[in-house]
Amino acid sequence: MKRVGVIGGGQLAAMMGGAAKKLGVELVVQTPSKDDPSVAIAQDSVFAAVDDAKATAVLATKCDVITFENEFVNIEALSALARQGVCFFPRLEALTPLLDKYHQRCYLRDLGLPVPEFFALGEDGDMGKVEREMSFPIVLKARRHGYDGQGTFILKNLDSLKEKLEYTYTKSPSSQDLFLVEEFIPFERELAIIAARSVSGEVVSYPVVETQQEEQVCRRVIAPANITPELTAEIQNIACTLLNSLEVVGVFGIELFLTPDGKVLVNEIAPRTHNSGHFSLDACETSQFEQHLRAVCGLSLGKTALICPGAVMVNLLGFENSHSDYMTKRQQLAKIPHAHVHWYGKTESRPGRKLGHVTVLLDNQQLNSSSAIAHTLESIWYSS
């Protein structure tokens, strides 16, 4: 029986549990708290922060291969373990150009993939460069550790940029090289694709989806996205180019902008399973979580086709500070026809925290009703 170590113990690791049981794989997680969602489904746990390389060395003694639920790791320290023979999938070399968002942008650009205009802050004359080369509004991004909209700011003028940087640098003087500036993209829609690559180099991708964000946090996912076959093929090619270039083993999520004139730009890369692929648990022949385990265990990849005409996934986000399990709301959601409720078992709710998700499988008559169905789900969840 293969034993897979997972760095990170949140819901992404927990959702590997069903697939691990199906494939005969044992999971061992490295996670800070005994209350983290994955602990209940793991065969063993190492309780430590995800960037604690000493703990990862202990994890390595308990498993055959190590993968990542959380990419906020210490690559340099893990590289020492890799030189000692510890097997990481994806390879550390595949993660290295992605963890810093400026380096990620440079890698994508140099690969010939379409990205917004950007440059790094922290050099003399940056304000002048912003004025010369950018038109407001602009996007200011933290280069590391940003997710769910954290560390991303849309700024309307030069004064607001100066104010934001002055506040940040006063609070943390060492942060002066930790931002990049990007052009603001007035996109028509946001899209995403989940793709996987095997040890042998086989690449498969899931249906392109539309993601809908509010306050820079994903609220809902529509599968498949209502786009042309040509656009689908272009996005699949972007995914294949990226995964082959990095020689990835495992699942990656790729977020994209679709502009009003029909152009696609890569927004961000998630080097792991991703929120935009949760619909696959119920709507696809092989979930993204099973696919990831198949890849890192050296198994053949599974089929990615939808088993229904479409699906809508709604994130159940915290809307208050609470320790409730919201059982009544969950039971109401489960009564929606063809609904599948996934609860992450987190012990604390706070505004914006991902507590679970619900996916509704759609028939042909419902494909144009995804927004109404999402509204029904949200009216139950966010009702007072």
Q: What is the DSSP string of 306-364?
A: BSSSEEEEEEEE--SSB----HHHHHHHHTSTTEEEEE---S-B-TT-EEEEEEEEE-G
- Using CA atoms, how far residue 1 sits from 4, 20, 285, 297, 338, in Å, is 10, 11, 23, 10, 34
- Tokens 């940040």 found at: 168
Query: How far is it, in rounded angstroms, from Cα 317 to Cα 149?
Result: 14
pLDDT surpassing 60 at residue 79: yes
- Tell me the pLDDT tens digit for each residue of 330-346: 999 999 999 999 999 99
Pick from 141, 98, 97: which is nearest to 118 by CA? 141
Selection from 310, 341, 313, 154 nearest residue 219 by Cα: 313
User: Within 10 Å of residue 84's Cβ, how many Cβ atoms?
Assistant: 9
Coil/strand/helix, residue 378? helix
- Give the per-residue pLDDT at 175: 52
Is pTM beyond 0.85? Reply is yes
Question: How far apart are alpha carbons 278 and 272 in whole angstroms?
Answer: 12
Return the higher-pLDDT residue of 46 and 125. Answer: 46
CB atoms within 10 A of CB 130: 20
* Whether the predicted pLDDT of 173 surpasses 60: no
Q: Does domain 117-183 have CATH number 3.30.1490.20?
A: yes
pLDDT at 146: 66
* 76-87: average pLDDT: 97
Contacts by 50-57, CB closer than 8 A, 24 or more apart: 50/7, 50/8, 51/77, 53/77, 53/78, 53/80, 53/81, 55/30, 56/5, 56/7, 56/30, 56/81, 56/86, 57/81, 57/86
Rounded Cα gap, residues 338 and 363, in angstroms: 10
**pLDDT digit string, tens, across residues 106-135:** 999 999 999 999 988 864 446 777 878 788
Question: Which two three-digit tokens encode residue 229?
Answer: 């076959």
Domain boundaries, the chain: 2-88, 117-183, 189-381
Give the pairing of strands 339-343 and 203-205. Answer: unpaired
- Termini Cα distance of the chain: 48
* pLDDT for position 125: 44
User: Mean pLDDT over residues 140-147, rounded?
Assistant: 81
- Domain over 189-381 is classified CATH 3.30.470.20: yes
What contacts 368, CB < 8 A, 6 or more positions away?
Answer: none
- Phi then psi dihedrals of residue 381, to 5 deg: -70, -40
Instruction: Give helix 327-334 / helix 370-381 axis angle, nearest 10°.
Output: 160
pLDDT of 209 strictly over 70: yes
The pLDDT tens digits for 2-17 are 999 999 999 999 999 9
Domain 2-88 has CATH 3.40.50.20: yes
Tell me the pLDDT band of 318, cut-offs 50, 70 and 90: very high
Q: What Rg value do the Cα atoms of the chain yield, rounded?
A: 21
97 contacts 107 by C-beta, under 8 angstroms: yes
